[in-house]
Structure 1
Amino acid sequence: MTHAEAKSLDVILDNEQRDGYCSGEVVSGHISLKLSEATTVKTIKVLLKGYAQVSWMHKRSCCSEERKYLFLSKTLVSTTDTQDLIFFDSGTYEIPFDLQLPQSPLVSSFSGKHGRVYYMVQAVLKRELCIISHIDVNVPTLISPVSQTCKKMIGCWIFTSGPISLTASIDRQGYCNGESIPIYALIENCSSRLVVPKAVIYQIQIYTYKGKTKSIKQVVASARGNEVPSDTSSRWNGNTLKIPPVSPSILNSDILRLEYLLAVIVQVPGAKNLEVQLPVVIGTSGHGMSSRSIVNMSLLYPTFTLPDVAEAPPSYAEVVSEEQFEEHRTSTCQSRPDWLLDGSAFACIQQFHLQPPPPYSEVGLNSKLLAKVLLWRRPKTHLVP
């Protein structure tokens, strides 16, 4: 909370004209809080403190001492397990309080030349202050690339269906909030299953107490890639995953660490997923290197390109005229014995002999279908003695 947000924070007692209080009595009043704009607080407390202080100079040295006689505390406004901060709109708030003095005798208030005994009621408004440790992601350890590979067989014993391999890398390890991480990955699916890749940013919270550790792992960002069918491969050439607003990495505390991991996962139906984890440090400054090493990273993986589409063959009409087709059909039928013309094998051959093939657009690059077309077009004259 800034001074501009809080105009005033005052403690007002119910009986301001009273000369004093005795042991066992109740001190009551209210806290007046005036806010110029909306704000959030964590706690509001009222404290009652009592001290005795003495101080004087003796032979160029200071003689001083302090004793605490009383300390009472009462929380008036506080957060709950499900509420981290309490919201206050602009305006004036009056929060009542009461504190009972102890029954034991108290030292009377006094103010002298070299000391005093005093009691005070204090209002405390607590609001968390955010401290950010500076982490420069331009240091040499954070600008170097990191890569990892894993591979596994799908199935067991004689029922294996082929391996699945995953290689993933990033061009550096240091990033800042709001940056996008370019991910380079190669997924080779030689199995019989359809797999799905995805990228995830994990936040790892590590707590330490007397040699014991407790960790919490949670997802802060994720993205799903395209499916990779059986016997195919897929390449990520700089697919990006944006870092959401998160706390910077904490690496300088001996009891609490905050780390981040970028994981590339290949989800395999009916089997354990493939996963590679790459360490990432979330810093506070020093980014701006997004295009520094993209070219180098792209050289880590081969470039997959489809073969050039072959030129379409000439049409059937350009090769065989109608006169040639009729002449060949008539001469072939006349030169065959009747018993052979009635055979089913010869009838099948003659049905497709010199018939136009299917259009080129229907065949394309399918080699198996193209082989069948060529087989039907080939005249099987060796069947005739």
Structure 2
Amino acid sequence: MLPLGRVQSLALELEDGRARSTYGSGELLRGRVRLELRGALRLRALEVCARGRAAVHWLESRSVGLNTVYCYYAACQTFLHRRCRLIPDNGEVTVLPAGRHEFPFTFQLPETLATSFEGKHGSVRYWVKAKLHRPWSAVKKAKKEFTVIEPIDINTPALLAPQAGAKEKLARAWYCNRGQVSVTAKIDRKGYTPGEVIPIFAEIDNCTNRAMVPKAAIIQTQTFIARGTKKQKKSVVTSIVGDSIAAGRREVWHGRALKIPPVGPSILHCRVIQVEYSLKVCVDIPGTSKLLLELPLVIGTIPLHPFGSRTSSVSSQCSVHLDWLSAIPEQPEAPPEYSAVVSGPEPERSLAPPCPNELGSALEGPFFAYIQEFRFRPPPLYSEVDPNPPAETMRPRCMTC
């Protein structure tokens, strides 16, 4: 009877040499299970499973009379659940000798996956787990996490469309109207990638009697959904502060630059977790609440094509029709006669140079004298016959000359 050997190490390793084990939707997940034994081992099965899911959970307290009631909210959505049996459990015991053993595995990732995410009330995680089943022993496990990035191409008509908005507010203080404040802002497109610069075009009108300071910021909104209830967490990704606007003045931003820092992409296709971005232009109004103008943003992973957003946006909204090419005749028609287009002495008068009395002394000098010598003459009538045929007595040129 073989002695029960001890497992020295059980580890998982992902192949393909990927940095930080990052994968995309629809790719192959390759790896191997490394098993090192000090002695012979009797085992029943060895399996590997790939999992990925989004999970949210939070606790809320409510007051009911004199008591406090706690409500627990939780929900999850599974994106990946694959299993591979490297040593199947067929009811018999398999004996592995001492030494190192490797068992390769491959998983096909689904076409639709959410980007890996870690938030305050939830997360999106992916991992690979190996389970070693031995008789009369606890299951030995090894776990390896990996990252998934959902591809979001910003070169689409929806994300290349310009975003604009306008908002106004009446400033009040102690039931007295202090004037009106209005904001109009526009950005070139909706989709951006980290590291890009957003040029902001805005106009801020301060019709009050107090100075105000405009600001712009990128806001990240995390939404967690469970049991029909939403929990949101907002944070400022980056911001800029404009110059102070005096009373009764207007401030114009001609493409004020706002750079996007390294942030995670938007998560839009998950039932329990959503990560959204927006550009907010706000004005601090003394004595009352802020004036906020919000423009939606989508942070993608596939950057803009080198042709630029303007070309892509125009080409996506306009279609080129080439049906008119079939209407072009093979043989061009003869041009009309000159007399059919313009008749009478009027064209000669219209084409003649103006009189010096009409133009004054500006056309005096040698240049005007040269114009006076030039006259427009009507072209000859169109004819299929060459008016100057070659002479019959002309001898052909010798090629050897």
Scaled by the length of structure 1, the TM-score of the pair is 0.47
Q: Which has the higher strand share?
A: 2
- Determine which structure has more spread, i.e. the larger CA radius of gyration: 1
Higher relative contact order (Cα pairs below 8 Å, separated by 6+ residues): 2
Scaled by the length of structure 2, the TM-score of the pair is 0.45
